[in-house]
Structure 1
Amino acid sequence: MEAEVLRKSLAERDVQLAELQYRIKILTEKNQAKHQVIVKLSDQVTSCLSDCRHKDPSSSEPPTLRELLQKIENLKDDIEAYKTQNKFLNSEIHQLTKLWRKSSEQEKSLMVKCAYLEATNCQVESRYLGVLRKLQETKSLDPDQREAVQKMIEDALTGELHRDHDAYGFKIIPDYEVEDMKLLAKIQALEIRSHNLLNQEGAEHPLLSRWAHFLAGRSQDDLCPSPELKTLLRGGVPREYRPRVWRWMVRARTRTIWEHHPQLYEQLCEKSRTFPHPATRQIQLDLHRTLTTNQHFSSPSSPALQELRRILLSFSWHNPTVGYCQGLNRLAAIALLVLQDEEDAFWCLVAVVETIMPQDYYTKNLMASQADQRVLKDFLAEKLPRLAAHFDKHNIDVTLITFNWFLVAFVESLPSDILLPLWDAFLYEGTKVIFRYALALFKYKEDDILKINDGVEIYQYLRFFTKTISDSRRLTSIAFGDMNPFPRRLLRNRRTQHVERLQKELHELEELQKEFVTERAEHKDKELDMGASEDDEEL
């Protein structure tokens, strides 16, 4: 009720503010017009006085001179009158400006109060759902009580949030078949909403101002790597500036290719239309598995799906070594959502696969991807030794969970309000950001994981725990603060070591396969010889 009253008050303030702004605009225009008249009259007076001084007295006519002098006096009176009126107008503009500022401050205060009330309401509803969930798990309830609790849960789940999808089209509450998961998802959505509302004034507006100041006066290609840009990117790019910043980072990483082949994407699209690619069928199948919780990709007839298809086919022709690998569809889809341009999304995919990720990350043997999982285990043992020991104790292979994180850079594993700031830094700094966030996620939920002492339950928890992160600022702080130091040279050296070990293991495996094939062939030859001998004896 109070929130509704505040909203009405805010609407009235908006109307008053609009009227005041209009009056200021009219008065300012009048003031400018009168100022121009004053200047023009002053110029005329100065011109007349100058003519009088330089005029020959013998040739001057007294009546004309008197007229001029009278005109000058009249003009002086007009100037004084305009000056007085100008002072009055300036005073009125000053008063209106004060009223406008006061109204703006009141509007801001009301908005903060509304956000606080809505956040409080989200927290209360979240706690209420939490209590219902605990009651649902209580075994001591009689049938009537259990039925009442079930009805309350159903009513709670039918209630809607203020919106179903976020700014990028992702569904805020995922669709789960299991009711308990539905309840948990709504609790999580309410907590995230509450957290965002309470932090938007303290974080979003200063961030927007910092980016506006940084980008002011810069052209599209005027951005250049710097410590200031790196710090800003780690804090996330506001939605208003994200396409521009991403476009610059992508172009910086792919400049060599697109400068030499500016029409490359058009040519690849034409080739895709003319010749069928071997990966066409697999791409078509994967299109409908792409970002299923996003409204832009949910319909089979969605234009975004057709754009995505052209991007993936073009990339398959462009990079025959990789061709198409499952996971590329999600990388391209995120690029398309943010950049809102098909060709820019294609170049973003090229940047990720060919310049950011190590070589052989998306080839058939996934050599570099496997190496990164071993590197992650090394870092996990060093940065989070208690958790690593806990995983070892219960025979948990975290790569079953984390392999997909790395392959698609957390797409569909994190909420969009965490995923996109992660990508802001990822496109600039590279894969080191993925390691930082992977470790930060485990650190964020370390205490909760350590409480679980059953291997199956740990795996079940790890499958969805990334979607329960509500404090994105805390996660970012852990990734870029608590995980330090994180030298790039150490990451590069460990990658090299594990790639060499994997290559050696692969070579040994191939040798074993050759031996097995040879032994099997020899065994078959012996069986044939034995069969022939038995036939001879029977004859």
Structure 2
Amino acid sequence: MMSLCPVQELVWILHKALEASQLEKRTCAEFLAATGEQERLELLRHRERLVADLRSRLEEAKAEADTLRRSLTQRDTQLDDIEAYKTQNKFLNSEIYQLTKLWRKSSEQEKSLMVKCAFLEASNCQVESRYLGVLRQLQETKSLDPAQQGAVQKMIEDALKGELKSVVKLNLTRDHDEYGFKIIPDYEVEDMKLLAKIQALEIRSHNLLHQEGVDRPLLSRWAQYLAGRSDDDLCPSPELKALLRGGVPQEYRQRVWSWMVQTRTRTMREQHPQRYQQLCEKSRMCPHPASRQIQLDLHRTLTTNQHFCSPSSPALQQLRRILLAFSWQNPAIGYCQGLNRLAAIALLVLQSEENAFWCLVAVVEVIMPQDYYTKNLVASQVDQWVLKDFLGEKLPRLATHFEDHSIDVSLITFNWFLVVFVESLPSDILLPLWDAFLYEGTKVIFRYALALFKYKEDNILRIHDSVEIYQYLRFFTKTISDSRRLISIAFSDMNPFPGRLLRNRRALHLDRLQGELQELEEQQREFVKESSEQKDKELDTLVSEDEEEL
């Protein structure tokens, strides 16, 4: 058995050799089966190409493997870098967090210091105001001897020499508001500078104590009301009326005014969509007779406002085009002094010439009664009679005081009504007044006029000289510091104030005034007739005397 193993191994080797020989035989048979030498050569070349193709693929595979190996190595390196960056980022985030905490703490401390500075400055203004008030009382005291009077006068002169200056300049305090109006008005009454400065100090004190300037609940209510509403979705409602009476935040005022003006002038604008452009073109081609007066009034418009104080201001040219366009729009009025102020306030808020033009149209032709701005100002005069009626009913003590001192309030209030308080009130009161006025109409003017007198009623009652009363009435509207209190007086204390009552009073006084005007015209005609006849008689007398001499 041990001898058979090599034999079996030999048999297996022979078997494998036989298989290889048979394979070679088949290959040779295939080679020899090809017809012709050329075909055999083609077959060999084909095999060689296959071998070359396989070899190139093998090389490409090796190259791809090397590339993949290198990319894996780079990836490992990048992963190490990423881990390092993560560690560094954690460290930096910790530093940023600590710096943020320090910044917030510093900001809070800075804000706290600013509030304290504002409070201290406000307190200083209040002390200075009380000091000047004491000086004013001493000035009016008759029992002082000449030396004491001289000392008091010297102290007053020293107090009035300097301008109002801040003890600390705060970033939150500004000279002008968002619309370019001065926050603290200039002194306009030369012979009452002491009282004017006292009032200015009170205004500054109030502004410093409320320098955040934004009524956050009001802003929140407006944001909630306008959220999700397009201009087409806005419509008159008790909710909107209540919001407008409280005033529109500066962020939303332009949009709300645009909607109110659009609502009041929609029919005219739909009928004449290019009306403003056509009127501007007409103004260029054909000068209006009122153009000279308009040019003169341009430089008298809002002279303390940043946007109108410079002769080269673009706003002045925009205002000129608006007023010229309106003079062609309404030939019955053309131009009336006061329209420049109405257009200017519209331009400041709406920031658009065309929208400001339509705002002027809405005020003059839609909101105000007819003949308010015509040559004889009939409707304007009527409203002064109506105001006197309401003054006697709502504020009887003040009406009696005016009557006792022969004060004609229309000398002061006529301009209030004609220009809707522009340049008579601080901007933080004027603009909320206009917010309500554009929505509710002229009733708002009466409410605010009465509220102004009510606000300062006690001060006015303490003045017993008619000249001083007139002087005080000329500037007291600019000394109002608490706009919220004034709004409350206008829309709460003055109630009830039904629109029907206003219409009836206007009709009553219009009939009366028209009767007086007719009587006056009749007297003028009789005077002209009598004067003419008298001249004729004088001429006849002279002729007769000449004939007698002859």
TM-score class normalised by the smaller sequence: 0.7 to 0.9
Once the two structures are TM-superposed, the CA of residue 170 in structure 1 deviates from its matched residue by 1.4
Tell me how far apart the structure 2 counterparts of residues 101 and 478 of structure 1 sit (CA, whole Å).
46
Q: Which amino acid aligns with 2:125?
A: E
The 1:474–1:102 alpha-carbon spacing in structure 2 relative to 1, beyond 3 Å, is farther
Once the two structures are TM-superposed, the CA of residue 239 in structure 1 deviates from its matched residue by 0.5
The answer on 1:127 being equivalent to 2:138 is no
Once the two structures are TM-superposed, the CA of residue 262 in structure 1 deviates from its matched residue by 1.1
The answer for the alignment partner of 1:488 in structure 2 is 499
Match of 1:220 among 227, 231, 237: 231
The answer on 1:166 being equivalent to 2:177 is yes
The answer for the alignment partner of 1:9 in structure 2 is none
Tell me how far apart the structure 2 counterparts of residues 458 and 403 of structure 1 sit (CA, whole Å).
17
Deviations 1:367-424 (A, max 9, x none): 1000000000000010011111111111111000000000000001000000000000
The answer for the alignment partner of 1:285 in structure 2 is 296
Match of 1:296 among 291, 307, 319: 307
The answer for the alignment partner of 2:330 in structure 1 is 319
Match of 1:397 among 383, 393, 408: 408
Tell me how far apart the structure 2 counterparts of residues 112 and 228 of structure 1 sit (CA, whole Å).
37
TM (norm. structure 2) is 0.75
The answer for the alignment partner of 1:376 in structure 2 is 387
Counterpart contact for 2:118–2:209, Cα < 8 Å = no
Tell me how far apart the structure 1 counterparts of residues 527 and 239 of structure 2 sit (CA, whole Å).
59
Once the two structures are TM-superposed, the CA of residue 198 in structure 1 deviates from its matched residue by 3.8
Paired residues for 1:98-109 under 5 Å? none
Paired residues for 1:189-338 under 5 Å? 189-199=200-210, 204-338=215-349
Tell me how far apart the structure 1 counterparts of residues 359 and 147 of structure 2 sit (CA, whole Å).
56
Once the two structures are TM-superposed, the CA of residue 365 in structure 1 deviates from its matched residue by 0.8
Counterpart contact for 1:157–1:183, Cα < 8 Å = no
The answer for the alignment partner of 1:339 in structure 2 is 350
Instruction: Tell me the SS of whatever aligns to 1:332.
Output: helix
Once the two structures are TM-superposed, the CA of residue 157 in structure 1 deviates from its matched residue by 3.7
Counterpart contact for 2:350–2:356, Cα < 8 Å = yes
Once the two structures are TM-superposed, the CA of residue 520 in structure 1 deviates from its matched residue by 1.1
RMSD: 2.9
Q: Which amino acid aligns with 1:434?
A: I
Point out where structure 1 has 5 or more consecutive residues left out of the alignment. 1-92
Counterpart contact for 2:342–2:419, Cα < 8 Å = yes
Tell me how far apart the structure 1 counterparts of residues 212 and 401 of structure 2 sit (CA, whole Å).
40
Paired residues for 1:331-370 under 5 Å? 331-370=342-381
Deviates more, 1:512-521 or 1:367-376: 512-521
Tell me how far apart the structure 2 counterparts of residues 132 and 354 of structure 1 sit (CA, whole Å).
47
Once the two structures are TM-superposed, the CA of residue 120 in structure 1 deviates from its matched residue by 4.1
Deviates more, 1:402-411 or 1:452-461: 452-461
The answer for the alignment partner of 1:443 in structure 2 is 454
Match of 2:161 among 154, 165, 171: 154
Tell me how far apart the structure 2 counterparts of residues 159 and 392 of structure 1 sit (CA, whole Å).
42
Once the two structures are TM-superposed, the CA of residue 190 in structure 1 deviates from its matched residue by 3.9
Aligned residues: 444
| Same amino acid, percent of matched pairs | 71
TM (norm. structure 1) is 0.76
Tell me how far apart the structure 2 counterparts of residues 109 and 423 of structure 1 sit (CA, whole Å).
39
Deviates more, 1:173-182 or 1:290-299: 173-182
Tell me how far apart the structure 2 counterparts of residues 427 and 101 of structure 1 sit (CA, whole Å).
48
Q: Which amino acid aligns with 1:336?
A: L
The answer for the alignment partner of 1:43 in structure 2 is none
Counterpart contact for 1:369–1:406, Cα < 8 Å = yes
Counterpart contact for 2:372–2:379, Cα < 8 Å = yes
